[in-house]
Amino acid sequence: VSNAGVGMVGPLECQSLEAMQSLMDTNFFGLVRLVKEVLPDMKRRRGGHIVVISSIMGLQGIVFNDIYAASKFAVEGFCESLVVQALRFNVAISLVEPGPVMTEFEAKVYEEAERADYSRTDPETADIFTNLYLRNSKDIFASLGQTPEDVAEHTLRVIEAARPPFRHRTNVAYTPMAALKHADPSGALMTDAFYKLLFKYDAVLRLSLR
């Protein structure tokens, strides 16, 4: 089970390249290093199961989560490319894809975001992040967030499954969001929906979450 991860949230201009590289080294290359260690023996034994804690953000990018989403997209692409070869050796790969989870990990990321310096971006972007994104995020976590125990139960079911699924989403509330992307390959439907949620109907979004 690969569960290493660090978070990053905020305007792109305010994040250093070094911090981005460090995040990718943990979230993506940490997984790659682990798989390189365990896969050869699993192939020799012709049996095994690699369970990767991914994220709904490996399927759908979210505003102000650019680098974190990129790392989870990399995880998804890596596993999707590897799974067919692994199956030839009777090795299962499963991606567990939570939405927001109420842990110290998320709390720390958002606490740091509230205290950060946004002088390296323009005032409008800083205002959108602090007064729209962060405020809505609190409501989303309170309304839709899962407990770690709930995600652990989902992960256990994946581990114990007779035929382990390749992908398993732990929060059904995010199924419509992911479906938008597949409903319109041009991306226009998904982009328009997210734009309106953030900039036109944010008051409705907050009210519905509460």
Express each pLDDT in 184-196 by its tens digit.
999 999 899 888 8
Backbone angles phi, psi at 92, to 5 degrees: -90, 145
Q: The domain containing residue 24 runs over which residues?
A: 12-122+147-172
Note whether residue 191 is domain-resident. no
Q: How confident is the model at residue 209 (pLDDT cuts 50, 70, 90)?
A: low
pTM of structure: 0.89
Q: Is 116 helix (H, G, I), strand (E, B) or coil?
A: coil
* C-alpha R_g of the chain: 18
Quote helix, strand, coil % in the chain, to nearest 5. 65, 10, 25
Note whether residue 197 is domain-resident. no
pLDDT of residue 92: 98
Note whether residue 3 is domain-resident. no
Note whether residue 43 is domain-resident. yes
On whether the CB atoms of residues 127 and 166 are closer than 8 A, the answer is no
Q: What is the pLDDT of residues 108-165, one digit of tens each?
A: 777 787 788 888 999 999 999 988 888 877 777 777 788 999 999 999 999 999 999 9
Q: How confident is the model at residue 205 (pLDDT cuts 50, 70, 90)?
A: low
Can you give the CATH number for the domain in which 53 is found?
A: 3.40.50.720
- Quote the CA–CA distance of 78 and 56 in Å, as a whole number: 16
Residue 203 has pLDDT above 80, yes or no: no
Task: Say which DSSP state 92 is in.
Answer: E
10 Å Cβ neighbour count for 151? 21
Note whether residue 181 is domain-resident. no
- Quote the CA–CA distance of 72 and 194 in Å, as a whole number: 19
pLDDT of residue 100: 84
Q: What is the pLDDT of residues 13-72, one digit of tens each?
A: 999 999 999 999 999 999 999 999 999 999 999 999 999 999 999 999 999 999 999 999
- Quote the CA–CA distance of 150 and 162 in Å, as a whole number: 21
Lowest-pLDDT range, 78-82, 111-115, 125-129, 205-209? 205-209
Note whether residue 83 is domain-resident. yes
Note whether residue 203 is domain-resident. no
Number of domains comprising the chain: 1
- Quote the CA–CA distance of 145 and 102 in Å, as a whole number: 6
Catalytic residue flag (residue 68): yes
Q: How confident is the model at residue 179 (pLDDT cuts 50, 70, 90)?
A: confident
Note whether residue 25 is domain-resident. yes
